[in-house]
């Protein structure tokens, strides 16, 4: 599984339109999320840093935003706006958010702040979704991290 970064300040590669529900097994989303975490952990180890810290409560909470995206209730950019607002309340601090493309065939990229920050405190969840204008299902990992410093 590959990851392409769609930055918090960048324009999303996906349209800002709700989509069609995608009946993907939860195991597929868990696998995509696990692959993201494994790739991030390996990249951080290459920088001599500890694995990212995840908070179980936040993991279950961010999952609801991924489910809304998968059910076609929101768009990818809409989910990103929602996780930013949620993240700031939950982390009680400024946050960064990313939409990481986990579609097969994309070059792996991870956000530099996640890879090179001393301590990375994150919440993430994967979803498969299909914008109305798309011809194929898409895979994205929603990521929130507490800004360091």
Q: Reduced to 3 states, what is the DSSP secondary structure of residue 11? A: coil
pLDDT beyond 60 at 15: yes
Q: How does pLDDT run across 66-81, given as a tens digit for each residue?
A: 999 999 999 999 999 9
pLDDT by residue (tens digit) across 123-149? Answer: 999 999 999 999 999 999 999 999 975
Burial 8-25 (b: 16+ CB within 10 A, else e): beeebbbeeebbeebebe
Domain ranges of the chain: 4-9+18-146
Instruction: Inform me whether the pLDDT recorded for 85 exceeds 90.
Output: yes
Please check the confidence at residue 94 and state whether its pLDDT lies above 60. yes
């Amino acid at each position: 599984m590959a990851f392409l970064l769609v930055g918090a300040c960048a324009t999303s590669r996906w349209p800002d339109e709700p989509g069609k529900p995608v009946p993907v097994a939860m195991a597929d989303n868990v696998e995509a999320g696990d692959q993201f975490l494994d790739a991030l952990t390996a990249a951080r180890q290459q920088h001599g840093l500890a694995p990212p810290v995840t908070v179980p409560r936040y993991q279950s909470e961010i999952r609801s935003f991924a489910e809304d995206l998968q059910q076609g209730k929101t768009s990818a950019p809409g989910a990103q706006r929602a996780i930013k607002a949620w993240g700031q309340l939950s982390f009680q601090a400024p946050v960064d958010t990313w939409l990481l493309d986990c579609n097969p065939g994309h070059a792996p990229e991870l956000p530099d702040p996640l890879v090179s920050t001393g301590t990375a405190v994150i919440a993430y969840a994967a979803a498969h979704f299909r914008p109305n204008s798309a011809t194929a299902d898409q895979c994205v990992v929603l990521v929130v991290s507490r800004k360091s410093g």
